[in-house]
Amino acid sequence: MQLRTIAPEAYARLVMPQTAPLWGGGDLDAYVARWLGIARSRFGRKHYRTVGLYENRTLLASLKEYDRTILDGSRRLRAVGLGAVFTPEALRGRGYATAMIAAVLDRARNEGYDVAYLFSDIRPQFYAAIGFRKLPSREIVLRADALPSKRLAVVPLIEKDWGAVRRCFDLASRGHVRFERTPLVWEWVRARLDLQLERSGGQPFHLTVRHGRGIGAYVLGGRIPHRDAYYLSEFGFADDLAASVVPGLLRAAAGDLRRIVGWLPPHGARELLPRGNIRARRGSVLMAAPLSSGGTRLVSHATQSSAADFCWEAEHV
């Protein structure tokens, strides 16, 4: 048995017809088109690949890999994200997925990666048995009327604002452990955000508060009327003064919707929101496996975090 990279067209032909009922929303053509768009994007060509465990010509199991960088103070840690772990039904129960992930981790360790991570939707104990540790993975629900109803000059986010949004993100997360976001990563984040909202039946609704010629604060998310909720993907701000308007900006984004829902924000952002109703997520449980001494320190610190989660939902793979 050996690991091999699977070309996008081959993955679409061999794997996606089987995974579409799980992750595709029922429309195979749309599912394949969305995935090929990511695989062929600038981000995909540089940071993304599909991998399979083969025995001769038989594909036994497959997964997706994402290259990311985590900033931890002055340290830059190489991270590999894993997703869409899949074994064909006729081959399950034989340990192929376990063997594949173990081989991926060994290869990543040999290539100098510091940590591997994934978001588990089912059976976190499966990944725990091969070296992954469960990190805090929570969601928050806020009553919109618990946020201040403050008059703000809010305006919708437009295309030319994305560069300013990136600068706000960097300023707001400065000094905190975080995933690095390069321009290519931002392209991927934007594509994922639209897809997430589409799957939930929501409509993108991103707002900003201007600051001079730029942006003081932004919120990314969508309105989901059938859930009477605004789905918060993330927010950012340029400085302490701009941070103070974030609760009012969220209230404006919710409008006449009763609730604001989303992942519990990371440090630097969590402190701006009221207590809310916090509970463990049922899916997308963040897990990480250290591959170096730096990765071990990172995972140990993240595991012990109680006040905030490790990352925004936009980093989900």
What is the arithmetic mean of pLDDT over 239-256?
96
Furthest CA-CA distance within the chain: 65
The pLDDT score that the predictor gives to residue 213 is 79
Cα distances from 122 to residues 119, 127, 179, 283, 288, in angstroms, run: 9, 10, 24, 7, 15
pLDDT bracket for residue 187 (50, 70, 90): very high
Q: Rounded CA gap, 109 and 107, in Å?
A: 5
The pLDDT score that the predictor gives to residue 150 is 79
What is the arithmetic mean of pLDDT over 244-249?
96
What is the arithmetic mean of pLDDT over 102-107?
97
- Per-residue pLDDT of 278-307, as tens digits, reads 999 999 999 999 999 999 999 999 998 889
The pLDDT score that the predictor gives to residue 161 is 95
The pLDDT score that the predictor gives to residue 199 is 67
The pLDDT score that the predictor gives to residue 272 is 96
Measured in degrees and rounded to the nearest 5, phi and psi for residue 241 equal: -65, -45
Q: Rounded CA gap, 256 and 275, in Å?
A: 21
Q: Is residue 129 over pLDDT 80?
A: yes
pLDDT-wise least confident of 98-107, 113-122, 201-210: 201-210
**Residue bearing the bigger pLDDT, 197 or 31:** 31
What is the arithmetic mean of pLDDT over 14-38?
89
The pLDDT score that the predictor gives to residue 23 is 86
What is the arithmetic mean of pLDDT over 148-156?
89
pLDDT bracket for residue 149 (50, 70, 90): confident
| Alpha carbon distance, N-terminus to C-terminus of the chain | 26
Q: Rounded CA gap, 252 and 243, in Å?
A: 15
Mean pLDDT of the chain: 94
Percent of the chain with pLDDT over 90: 85
The pLDDT score that the predictor gives to residue 22 is 86
pLDDT bracket for residue 211 (50, 70, 90): confident
What is the arithmetic mean of pLDDT over 44-57?
96
* All residues at 6 or more sequence positions from 201 whose CB lies less than 8 Å from its CB, including other chains: 224, 226
β strands within the chain, DSSP E: 2-6, 48-55, 58-72, 75-86, 115-120, 133-134, 138-143, 154-156, 178-179, 203-204, 207-211, 214-224, 229-237, 259-263, 277-280, 285-290
Closest CA to 44 of 67, 63, 17: 67
Q: Is residue 228 over pLDDT 80?
A: yes
- Per-residue pLDDT of 63-78, as tens digits, reads 999 999 999 989 999 9
Rg (CA), the chain: 20
pLDDT bracket for residue 27 (50, 70, 90): confident
The pLDDT score that the predictor gives to residue 34 is 87
**Residue bearing the bigger pLDDT, 27 or 145:** 145
* All residues at 6 or more sequence positions from 133 whose CB lies less than 8 Å from its CB, including other chains: 287, 288, 289, 290, 299, 303
Place of tokens 């997925």: 97
The pLDDT score that the predictor gives to residue 212 is 81
The pLDDT score that the predictor gives to residue 317 is 87
